[in-house]
Structure 1
């Protein structure tokens, strides 16, 4: 049994099984609150707690899954290429929209941290919440942020973006797929982009390009903090 738990295949298998179960439930219920991403997290944590399996055993497989994040994100370039004309024709609005979105995200965190009297460790951990995990962790570590808080905030921003973005698009009547895609990608990185792809090809492509641009914009803005 110990050999199984210490194998990277254990973490990978548990993740795939949990996500598949979550996908089946989501197809039945069709509610964003039952997103496969959310359900798989709940299933994995519950499984580890019930059988008293240390997180370090799961993480051996989780680390391998994390390695796939970069090539998975790079694969979004395919949808971007398919929408290259739209991107060229709207290049300036895309740049401005992503910059404004990143700036609002950062300034809102700074304001809220000052309002509630949170220390710099928490502030710098939360500032990169809307960018992809590798960039967020690097920025947090270099500025003295609490890494655990950064991981939590990045995961939450992605989950909340994936869950509520369809409803928010309807509430604010964002009929422009470019605006919708940029908003999702800028605020909720890769997890939100997975939902944007479900909404439409244009939304997915623009959300994908927003991930990279938001990361760059956040790093640039960070230098002036």
Structure 2
């Protein structure tokens, strides 16, 4: 059975999709932000691989096909942004300032925590792109000499946490403007957070989609400047 599953072409795809469907079911039943479908699917997938003694390479041989859908899925985020184009034009200055502030807050927090915990340059540049989408973050980390595998993990963790606490943070700090919500979520927790923003409203989702792209570009430029601080 182990050999059959390990060599099955679409075993990774099947496990990933079923795990995520289970996560969606649990989220629907509990209505709890902690029960994030992506987080649940990660835990379940790891559990299945450990239980069946299947290594990551065998799993990824099939799961990699899901990665091909990332680009078109990201492009689709342009649709809600296009529908809110007039709102974007009216608030363009505030939006740009908000995204820049989000990027600086992300980089500044990494810089401060690395100094606090005595982390060296390699780990510092590994964590710098934590709040941007994986495709861009991997390139930034590799270019700066970071550990790409850790960067990917940190980006996913950042997104999941952002997805879970986004609405709570907005309520806690009394952020009610949908544009502000979307920019904050997209700048802090990229595409995974944007999934939550889309659930909150069309404007929130559109602004969060915009923040993903702009924050990614700004982070690429800013990281090269801030990389040598540690």
Instruction: Tell me which interval the TM-score lies in, with the shorter structure as reference length.
Output: over 0.9
TM-score by length of 2: 0.95
Deviation at 1:111, TM superposition (A): 1.5
Structure-2 residue corresponding to 1:125: 126
Q: Which residue of 2 aligns with 1:207?
A: 208
Asked if 1 retains the 8 angstrom alpha-carbon contact of 2:144 and 2:224, the reply is no
Q: How far apart are 1:3 and its partner, in Å?
A: 4.9
**Mapping 1:8-27, distance limit 5 Å:** 8-27=9-28
Residue 6 of structure 2 corresponds to: 5
Counterpart in the other structure of 1:87: 88
Instruction: Quote the residue 2:76 is aligned against.
Output: 75
- The DSSP-based 3-state class of the residue aligned with 1:33 is coil
Q: Is the 8 A contact 1:8 1:58 kept in 2?
A: no
Report the equivalent of 1:66.
Answer: 67
SS at match of 1:223: helix
SS of the residue corresponding to residue 193 of structure 2 reads: helix
User: Deviation at 1:61?
Assistant: 2.3
Q: Does 1:143 align with 2:162?
A: no
* Residue equivalent to 1:159: 160
Deviation (angstroms), 1:4:
4.2
Runs of 4+ in 1 over 4 A off after TM superposition: none
Instruction: Show CA shifts across 1:61-110 (max 9, x none).
Output: 23222222121111001100111111111111111110111011101101
Deviations 1:171-204 (A, max 9, x none): 1111100000000000000000001001111100
For structure 2, which runs of at least 5 residues remain unmatched after alignment?
Answer: none
When structure 1 is superposed on structure 2, of 128-137 and 53-62 the one drifting more is 53-62
- Could you report, residue by residue, the CA deviation over 1:32-84 in whole angstroms, capped at 9, with x for unpaired residues? 11111111111100000111111111111232222221211110011001111
1:109 aligns with 2:110: yes
Q: How does 1:182-197 map to 2 (within 5 A)?
A: 182-197=183-198
Answer yes or no: is 1:49 the counterpart of 2:50: yes
CA distance in 1, matches of 2:30, 2:107: 35
Moved more, 16-25 or 53-62: 53-62
Deviation at residue 152 of structure 1 after TM alignment: 1.4
Tell me how far apart the structure 2 counterparts of residues 54 and 223 of structure 1 sit (CA, whole Å).
36
Quote the residue 1:36 is aligned against: 37
- Contact 1:132–1:190 (CA under 8 A) maintained in structure 2: yes
8 Å CA contact retained: 2:132, 2:216: yes
Question: 2-side partners of 1:93 and 1:63: how far apart?
Answer: 39
Does residue 1:98 correspond to 2:99, yes or no? Answer: yes
Q: How much has 1:216 moved relative to structure 2? A: 0.6
Count of paired positions: 225
Q: Counterpart in 2 of 1:170?
A: 171
